[in-house]
Structure 1
Amino acid sequence: MTIDIDQLTEAELIDLNHRIVERLRFLDQMRAHVEMLEFRIGDRVTFQPPGQGRLEGMLTRYNQKTVTVITDSGQKWNVSPAVLSRVEPAKGTNTAGSSVLPLTNR
């Protein structure tokens, strides 16, 4: 499909521009949504902010284009799901969190 923009008026060019920008935003939102679906609330994830070391935490919320991660140190980050990696628990570890203690028979 070819569009001859040389034949369009200024108003038509402005309208075309708005439609293109709207479509690009929609495609970006769809891409972010698909990336978010790879993760679930409660997943342990890791990411590396620019100029810092890797951070690890728990995914706590889906936002429009990002997800919210609470790090182990208590910091709250809104992160693009494209930069997240899932943290696989080590074998034999408690995946419910460090504040949960196993029950023992007395």
Structure 2
Amino acid sequence: MKIDIDQLTEAELIDLNHRIVERLRFLDQMRAHVEMLDFKIGDWVTFQPTSQGPFEGMLTRYNKKTVTVITDIGQRWNVSPTLLSRIKPATGTSTAGSNVVPLNKR
């Protein structure tokens, strides 16, 4: 489907731009969500921020486009799931298990 933007008014172009930006944001969020599902709460992961050494920590929370990782030295990072590598799965969980951690286990 081709759109002849030369025939659109300024208002129509602005509306089209807003729709395109919103669609791109939605696709980005969906991609991040799919990548998050590769990991479970409690998984031990590693990641390497720019210009720093690698960090290891436990995945503790899903956010909108990132996950929260608490490092083994107590730092909290919000990390894109694309930057994570699993070290070992959470103890007592399987890949077919739930993503929910009971409150008494936190």
Length-normalised TM-score, structure 2: 0.83
In structure 1, distance between residues paired with 2:50 and 2:60: 22
Query: How do residues 15-94 of structure 1 correspond to structure 2 at under 5 angstroms?
Result: 15-88=15-88
Structure 1 letter corresponding to 2:57:
G
**1:1-32 CA distances to partner (integer Å, 9 max, x unpaired)?**
11000000000000000000000000000000
In structure 2, distance between residues paired with 1:34 and 1:77: 20
Bigger Rg over Cα? 1
Structure-2 residue corresponding to 1:10: 10
Structure 2 letter corresponding to 1:85:
S
SS at match of 1:73: coil
How many pairs does the alignment contain? 91
Q: 1:55 Cα deviation (Å)?
A: 0.3
Q: 1:88 Cα deviation (Å)?
A: 2.9
- Tell whether the 8 Å contact from 2:43 to 2:88 is kept in structure 1 after alignment: no
Structure 1 letter corresponding to 2:5:
I
CA RMSD of aligned residues (A): 1.2
% identity of equivalent residues:
82
